[in-house]
Amino acid sequence: MVQFELSPAQKELRARVREFAVREVLPAAWHYDEKNDIPLFLLKKAFDGGFMNGDIPARYGGRGLGCLEIAILTEEIAAACPGVATSIFDNSLGMAPLLLSDNEPLRERYLPAIAREFKRICFATSEPTMGSDVASLRCTAERQGEDYVLNGTKYWITNAGVADYLTVFATVDPEQQHAGIGAFLLERGWEGVSVGEPIPKLGQRCSNTAGLNFKNVRVPKENVIAEPGKGFVLAMQTFSRTRPIIGAFAVGAARSAMEYAIDYVKKRRAFGTKLANFEAIQFKLAEMYQKVETSRLLVWKSAWEVDSGIDPTVSASIAKFYSTEAALEVVNDALQVCGGYGYTKMFPLEKLLRDIRLFSIYEGTSEVQRIIVAGHVLGSYQPIMPPLEDLPLIRGLDLNDESARNTPAWRCRMCGHIHYGEEPPEECPSCFFPNTAFKKVWPAA
């Protein structure tokens, strides 16, 4: 049976985080957006409330939530402010490679600190010269004895300015591409680590984004999350588990935009009636709701795959690019429905529009998601229907008639013309290809 109903525990979690989002995050978000600053106190409150690091397993002092629970709680926080949601979820992104690695002693050393103290951990693959093409990263990890020494720059790193720990992907040799990449857990206070100034952005201005620079940073062998050669796959496995959550960001933001639009059209009057009475407006609302619901289903399915141990790569990509692009349409339509007010900073739509624009860029652009899904469709996807050249599309026989039912049918592999008889024709009467183009498709073998 397919189960769409949340459990009592999941409903309780949603109710608690909903209250946190509406009471704490919503009122504060606009101030920090204008200041281009991260509201660390909100992250602390999220930490205290159990809404940060939820995915740390209980054996390390965490709550052991699944990806579905993280999606549920992230939707609520993003509904209040996508930037704050990004900052809070960044710990899960930063920890994911460690959780997926086979370095148990490293997990035992760092995860309890992250679970019990208010520690932040960021995730760094991107660099000034590459983002989508992870295999071309240039930050180097040179082996010295059993340790590694890191040199290079990471860019666009969420929470870099406030992180205690850094999950960094670097290569023993940029020429080796995928085969040279490893992953390392660094501490912000280590010699040679420096953080750039916050990068000014269009939206999500209350999430911190900055560069990281490494000059001869010595990483002891104990802090290797993945040995060189294993880091690229680990980065991809990480994204497959975090992309459903980017989808959840989009669901939350789109849901809020829709709700603001509903409120406005029920009250605003034009041409002697409420806006809500115009069919053109009703259709926009219907499509907004359709997109929010569809997005959530895709997000939950991919999160369920993560929790069920099924490879979530394709579902996560579909959830990410569908829901983030749908959110852009929903928020844009909601702004339109609110007219001139929608365009102002006194209404919440312009911030949502700026904030959500990022969703189809970070953690793999929409184009990258399409590349992943196209690779699946053209590769491992198993079709149900026979190939075109085998299609028994019988048009000229009455199959109620037993003798007719046994008449052989030949299909031209070029144009699809069907010929009935014991032998194929000399040439196809439609495309003039010779009889070798014909394949017997009926009666079925």
Q: At what angle do helices 231-267 and 279-308 cross, to 10 degrees?
A: 150
Taking CB under 6 A as the rule, does residue 51 contact ligand FAD? no
Specify the stretch interacting with ligand FAD by CB under 6 A; choose among 57-65, 66-74, 156-164, 405-413. Answer: 156-164
Residue in 156, 249, 322, 359 binding ligand FAD, rule: CB under 6 A: 156
Give the nearer residue to ligand FAD in terms of CB position, either 125 or 304. 125
Taking CB under 6 A as the rule, does residue 126 contact ligand FAD? yes
Specify the stretch interacting with ligand FAD by CB under 6 A; choose among 120-128, 311-319, 334-342, 375-383. Answer: 120-128
Least distance to ligand FAD, CB of residue 382, Å: 26
Taking CB under 6 A as the rule, does residue 83 contact ligand FAD? no
Dihedral sign for Cα 82, 305, 110, 210, please: negative
As a whole number of Å, the end-to-end CA separation of the chain is 36
**Active site annotation includes 363:** yes
* CA–CA distance, 102 with 115 (Å, rounded to integer): 19
Least distance to ligand FAD, CB of residue 189, Å: 20
Cα-atom radius of gyration of the chain, to the nearest Å?
Answer: 27
Specify the stretch interacting with ligand FAD by CB under 6 A; choose among 46-54, 153-161, 187-195, 399-407. Answer: 153-161
Least distance to ligand FAD, CB of residue 371, Å: 6
Specify the stretch interacting with ligand FAD by CB under 6 A; choose among 123-131, 171-179, 268-276, 337-345. Answer: 123-131
Q: What is the total count of residues that contact ligand FAD (CB under 6 A)? A: 24
Taking CB under 6 A as the rule, does residue 130 contact ligand FAD? yes
Give the residues across from 409 on adjacent strands.
420, 442
Contact set for ligand FAD, span 346-365 (CB under 6 A): 358, 361-365
CA distances from 402 to 28, 39, 406 (A): 77, 78, 7
Residue for token pair 């053109």? 280
Give the nearer residue to ligand FAD in terms of CB position, either 230 or 411. 230
In terms of C-beta density within 10 A (0-12 exposed, 13-18 middle, 19 or more buried), how is residue 400 classed? exposed
Structure tokens that stand for 263 in this block: 């409120």
Closest by alpha carbon to 21, among 42, 38, 37? 42
Closest by alpha carbon to 351, among 5, 32, 18? 32
**Residue 116: Cβ within 10 Å count:** 14
Give 346's Cβ-side CA count (13 Å radius). 4
* CA–CA distance, 147 with 220 (Å, rounded to integer): 5
* CA–CA distance, 139 with 158 (Å, rounded to integer): 18
Taking CB under 6 A as the rule, does residue 10 contact ligand FAD? no
Catalytic residue among 363, 389, 423, 427: 363
Residue in 17, 98, 368, 418 binding ligand FAD, rule: CB under 6 A: 368
Residue in 91, 125, 223, 256 binding ligand FAD, rule: CB under 6 A: 125
* CA–CA distance, 15 with 49 (Å, rounded to integer): 12
Least distance to ligand FAD, CB of residue 266, Å: 35
- Residue whose beta carbon is closest to ligand FAD: 131
Give the nearer residue to ligand FAD in terms of CB position, either 157 or 292. 157
Contact 130, 167 (CB under 8 A): no
Give the nearer residue to ligand FAD in terms of CB position, either 239 or 442. 239
Taking CB under 6 A as the rule, does residue 249 contact ligand FAD? no
Taking CB under 6 A as the rule, does residue 201 contact ligand FAD? yes
* CA–CA distance, 412 with 307 (Å, rounded to integer): 48
Taking CB under 6 A as the rule, does residue 26 contact ligand FAD? no
Least distance to ligand FAD, CB of residue 204, Å: 6
Least distance to ligand FAD, CB of residue 131, Å: 2
Taking CB under 6 A as the rule, does residue 132 contact ligand FAD? yes
Beta strands 269-270 and 147-158 are unpaired
Give the nearer residue to ligand FAD in terms of CB position, either 20 or 207. 207
Residue in 32, 123, 410, 442 binding ligand FAD, rule: CB under 6 A: 123
Beta strands 269-270 and 273-274 are antiparallel
Residue in 102, 263, 367, 401 binding ligand FAD, rule: CB under 6 A: 367
DSSP-assigned states of every residue in 61-116: TS----HHHHHHHHHHHHHH-HHHHHHHHHHHHHHHHHHHSS-HHHHHHHHHHHHH
Taking CB under 6 A as the rule, does residue 124 contact ligand FAD? yes
Least distance to ligand FAD, CB of residue 157, Å: 5
H or E stretch covering 185: strand 181-187
Active-site residue numbers?
Answer: 363
Return residues touching ligand FAD (CB under 6 A): 122-126, 130-133, 156-158, 201, 204, 209, 358, 361-365, 367-368, 371
